[in-house]
Amino acid sequence: MAELNLKKTVLEQKEKFVDFLSLMVKTDTQVKGQGILGGNERFGQKMVKQKLLDLNFDVDEFDVEDDKIKKFPGANLGHQNENRPNVVGVLKGSGGGRSLILNGHIDTMPYGDKSQWSKDPFLGEIVDDEIYGLGATDMKGSLSAMILAAEVIKISGLRLKGDLIIQSIVDEEGGGNGTMACVERGYRADGAIVGEPTQLHLQTAHMGFLFHDIKVTGESLHSSQLWEGVNAIDKALIIYRALKNLERRWLMTRRHPLLPGPTINLGVIEGGVAGSVVPNSCTMKFCLHYHPEKNESKEVTRDRVKGEVNEAVKLATDSDPWLKKNPPQVNIYQEGFPFETELSHPLVQEMKQTLNKVIDRAVIEGMPAGCDARTLSEFGQTPAIILGCGNPQHCHCVNESVPVHQFLSLIEIYANFIVTWCGIESAVK
């Protein structure tokens, strides 16, 4: 009976729930310089905090602190953290049930060139079953659904046995510092859901990633006598070709049932000052993605991948007299471990059952990027899955939107799963 009422409650509250998401989208929570220069998350967090208080959550509000998260591999230190609080709500259960973390980030990337948007990115308008606006998909739709699922539980008069913890996270777009701060603060649970957009598909694994900065030097002079100089861009491309060869070898030898093959992307190349000058420096920035491995720790996997990259760079360097004498500087400036939860885990199996019940299908896949599931799982000892509304291809792009019907279905999915996972003591009279 309780489960049947959850769908009924979502439908009855549809207009109110959509208005809540629309207001979230209208609220500017952009990061600045990928979090390095700060962010506007506080404006959205004020709204989240009040809603959680209205739902009888105990609310913990705290800033990220570098001194506390620096122990985590991949922590992105030196960001402007002041006045960018995490907001965590805890709804204590009566006891005897399993605890659950619902994790979603409030920050968005900047909207870019506003003239390319067909409507104002903060309008939050609904057109043909789509809510348009910055962050609608990434990931205010899922974060709102998490909070509103708790409201469905309250309206339905249900009391949970296990604790329900909702984490509204800052600085995810800057590398995940907000969730690291939650883990450092001691938040743990028997399971967690990260609400990145998955189109209601269940994701149980994601790629690890390493960002490399490679600097190559040369000798500059006028291009009319280029043979007397050393073109740093030409030398950098020797290293680039070596890394693409490594990528090809990975694609032929590395497989994962849920994830695409490993990749190495050259995202930035900078060098030179003019067409008439032989460039004396060149910087390349790469992002590579790699698989989790079942039979080794995340640290071992990461170190093995780092070693293979360093070996490829060394072989390229040793093959060229200039590079061998003037070796490039190789630096990792951002990283994240891969993540995987076994398909047999109760968290996966029970969510699969919930999806089959609510939307009559359960698609299980992996995420080709990375997210905060890795932090909850690896450092927080909390098994995690990824499930949210919206198409991930709509992230970080103009005219971002999320389907209303997916958003409402997600509220129902989350509410049903909370009831199943945490358990119900009794109806509140």
Number of DSSP helices (H) and strands (E) in the chain, helices first: 12, 18
Q: What digits encode the pLDDT tens for the residues 64-116?
A: 999 999 999 889 899 999 999 999 999 999 999 999 999 999 999 999 999 99
Give the pLDDT confidence score for residue 104 in this predicted structure.
98
Alpha carbon of 13 to those of 118, 196, 427: distances in Å? 29, 23, 20
> What per-residue confidence (pLDDT) applies to 1?
39
Q: How far is residue 237's CA from residue 229's CA, in Å, rounded to a whole number?
A: 16
| 426 band by pLDDT with thresholds 50, 70 and 90 | low
Is residue 428 pLDDT above 80, yes or no?
no
What was the pLDDT predicted at 238? 98
pLDDT at 11 over 80: yes
- CA dihedral of residues 371, 89, 94, 11 (deg, nearest 10): -80
Q: What's the whole-model pTM score? A: 0.91
Most distant CA pair in the chain: distance in Å?
Answer: 88
Which residue out of 41, 60, 107, 151 is catalytically annotated?
107
Taking the C-alpha atoms of residue 31 and residue 34, their distance in angstroms, rounded to an integer, is 6
What local confidence, expressed as pLDDT, does residue 2 receive? 43
Instruction: Give the β-pairing of 158-160 and 58-62.
Output: unpaired
Q: What is the DSSP letter of 9?
A: H
pLDDT of residue 4: 54
Average pLDDT over residues 8-14: 96
Is the distance from CB of 29 to CB of 135 less than 8 angstroms? Answer: yes
Q: Give residue 3's pLDDT.
A: 45
Q: Which of 41, 60, 130, 172 is catalytic?
A: 172
Q: pLDDT tens digits for 126-173?
A: 999 999 999 999 999 999 999 999 999 999 999 999 999 999 999 999
CB count in 10 Å sphere of residue 134 = 28
pLDDT category at 63 given cuts 50, 70, 90 is very high
Q: Higher pLDDT residue, 297 or 233?
A: 233
Q: Which residues are within 8 A (CB) of 397 and not within 5 positions of it... i.e. 6 or more apart?
A: none
pLDDT higher than threshold 90 for residue 19: yes
Any catalytic annotation for residue 172? yes
Cα–Cα distance measured from residue 4 to residue 390, given in angstroms and rounded to the nearest whole number = 25
Query: For residues 43 and 30, is the Cβ–Cβ distance under 8 A?
Result: no
Q: Give the chain's domains with CATH numbers.
A: 2-206+338-427 (3.40.630.10), 208-336 (3.30.70.360)
CB atoms within 10 A of CB 19: 13
Would you state the pLDDT for residue 45? 98
- What integer pLDDT is reported at residue 385 of this predicted model? 98
Mind listing the pLDDT tens digit for each residue in 358-392?
999 999 999 998 999 999 999 999 999 999 999 99
Does position 427 have pLDDT exceeding 60, yes or no?
no
Sorting pLDDT into bands at 50, 70 and 90, what band is 307?
A: very high
Beta bridge mates, 169: 105
With H, G, I as helix, E, B as strand and everything else as coil, classify residue 364: strand
Quick check: is 120 catalytic?
A: no
Mean pLDDT, rounded, of the chain: 95
Q: Give the C-alpha separation, 240 to 286, whole Å.
A: 9
Q: Are residues 95 and 163 in contact, defined by beta-carbon separation less than 8 angstroms?
A: no
- 85/73 Cα distance (integer angstroms): 22
